[in-house]
Amino acid sequence: MKVGDTKSAVIVLDGTLDHWRHHVRALAASGDLPESVRWVDPRRSPAEPTGGLFASAPPAAAAEPTQAKGDASGQALLLPRRFVEQLKTVSCFRSEEMWLVAYRLLRRIVMGERDLMEDPLDKDVTAFLRMEKAVRRDAHKMHAFVRFRCIQDADARGGERFIAWYEPSHLIVEREAEFFRKRFPSMDWSILSPDRCAHWDGKEVTITAGATRDAAPTDDELEELWCAYYASIFNPARVKLKAMTAEMPRKFWHTLPETQQIPDLLADVPRRLAEMAETSRRMAESAMPFVPQGAPLAELKDALPGCEGCELFSNHTSAVAGEGPENASIAILGEQPGDLEEQAGRPFVGPAGQVLDELLSGAGLPREKLYLTNAVKHFRHEVQFKSGERGKRRLHKRPTLEHVSRCQPWFDAEMGRVQPETLICLGATAARSVFGPTFRMPSPGDAPIARTSRYAKRTHVTFHPAAILRAPTPERRDSLTQHARSVFEAAKGPTS
């Protein structure tokens, strides 16, 4: 309708952008003012789902404007590409208002305001961008909060179909179906919602009418595992209820299995925080105050007996310092001293030390030219009384991550003085003190790999001589021995 007209056009849409474009071309060509057009879009009214999992999509409305002038085909409108792309997103906004705002902007652009969308203070632009942001945020929520559950389906690939129930704030199911097709191409899935349902069968995505909540399963056999995983990664130190509900609005909670345990997890926060604080306090206590910084090896050795960085100092053992020249090009790091090492006050002098000496000799590495030490300086053990004999014996007990962490300042000080070109870690405890607690030991058949660490340009990892001694079978013993030999040979190469 042009200026001065009193009649208004009522246009009934089928909810699609293409149907709206069909009418907009005619309206723009005839000069109808936005205020003279009333858009009616039943799809943006409260949804009335029809039920079934694979119900057919409702036929598109064939409505035409009751009072619209001009050729219905209209003329192609020249619009900025960015506006056209934004329009595809905004067309998912759940309100008939968006058609009016979009037409006002389109008409103003066609009438000559080509840079209109660059004006952030314009009322129509602000409303348009607000709607675009709301749709994009809703899509982000859908990507995060869709939860599939498995059902048996003889017609699906592998006999399984994965069903999700989701209630979006806007009409985004069709828009986001492509995202889920790319994300889960190998499984047959259906996303059900009150508005539309999307289905993927490995060949094409199909859209059907909206469904009801009871069309989707409520749980499956993997749900317990997922909930256990969620509980394990729940960090009580980062709980911010306001931020959490902003990112995970409560309207989605009834479809998310992990949210059922949030109240219990929140109730447990005080206890877990206290536990974490105690662990941090204990881990903060270390050998650092007892280590003379920058001191030569002889001074470090003299200071070691006075260390009280962990409880091992009080279990009737003596600390065992490292041994070897300060200019050694190769350093060897073990786990901790054993019973005989503690009695002798020297590293690697027991049965495992004899195996180490054989390996060194075979590789042509003189022990007196190497620096040998342990990640933990005390002997951690448990006492066992000898059966049928007088007395008792001390059995090796692996040091904990906390023991290694507290003793780390001693090893840091040693390596600061020696500065070896090559470091050989014997066993998992030694390797993890260098590369971190998640380091995994190589397989016996793996070739030697030289890694760079903060202590040496070349750092090798092999099995502790004690593991060779405890090997359950001759074959296992031979494979561990061969790996250790290959590592010592590789370590010798550039420094021989």
Q: What's the average model confidence in pLDDT over 267-288?
A: 74
Q: Are residues 155 and 249 in the same domain?
A: no
Q: Are residues 427 and 299 in the same domain?
A: yes
pLDDT score at 15: 83
310-330 confidence digits (pLDDT tens): 888 877 678 999 999 999 999
Which burial class, exposed, middle or buried, applies to 118 when counting CB atoms under 10 A from its CB (0-12, 13-18, 19+)?
exposed
Q: Is the pLDDT of residue 366 over 80?
A: yes
Q: Is the pLDDT of residue 207 over 80?
A: yes
pLDDT score at 484: 94
123-177 confidence digits (pLDDT tens): 999 999 999 999 999 999 999 989 898 888 888 888 899 999 999 999 999 999 9
Q: What's the average model confidence in pLDDT over 219-227?
A: 71
Q: Are residues 151 and 247 in the same domain?
A: no
Q: Are residues 381 and 348 in the same domain?
A: yes
Q: Are residues 447 and 384 in the same domain?
A: yes
pLDDT score at 280: 62
Q: Are residues 256 and 302 in the same domain?
A: no
pLDDT score at 72: 43
CB–CB of 296/392 below 8 Å?
no
* H or E stretch at 434: helix 428-435
Give the range of the structural domain holding residue 252, as residue numbers without chain letter.
Answer: 227-284
Q: Is the pLDDT of residue 216 over 70?
A: yes
Q: Is the pLDDT of residue 413 over 60?
A: yes
Q: Are residues 65 and 97 in the same domain?
A: yes
Q: Are residues 125 and 258 in the same domain?
A: no
* H or E stretch at 143: helix 123-145
How is 447-475 classified by DSSP, letter by letter?
PP--B--SS-SEEEEE--HHHHHT-SSHH
Q: Are residues 178 and 51 in the same domain?
A: no
pLDDT score at 316: 64
Q: Are residues 337 and 348 in the same domain?
A: yes
Of 141-155, 171-185, 235-249, 342-356, give the lowest mean pLDDT range: 235-249
| 111 pLDDT tier (thresholds 50, 70, 90) | confident
Q: Is the pLDDT of residue 387 over 60?
A: no
Of 90-104, 302-316, 323-337, 431-445, give the lowest mean pLDDT range: 302-316
pTM of the model: 0.50
- Residue 336 lies inside a defined structural domain of this protein: yes
pLDDT score at 478: 95
- Residue 3 lies inside a defined structural domain of this protein: no
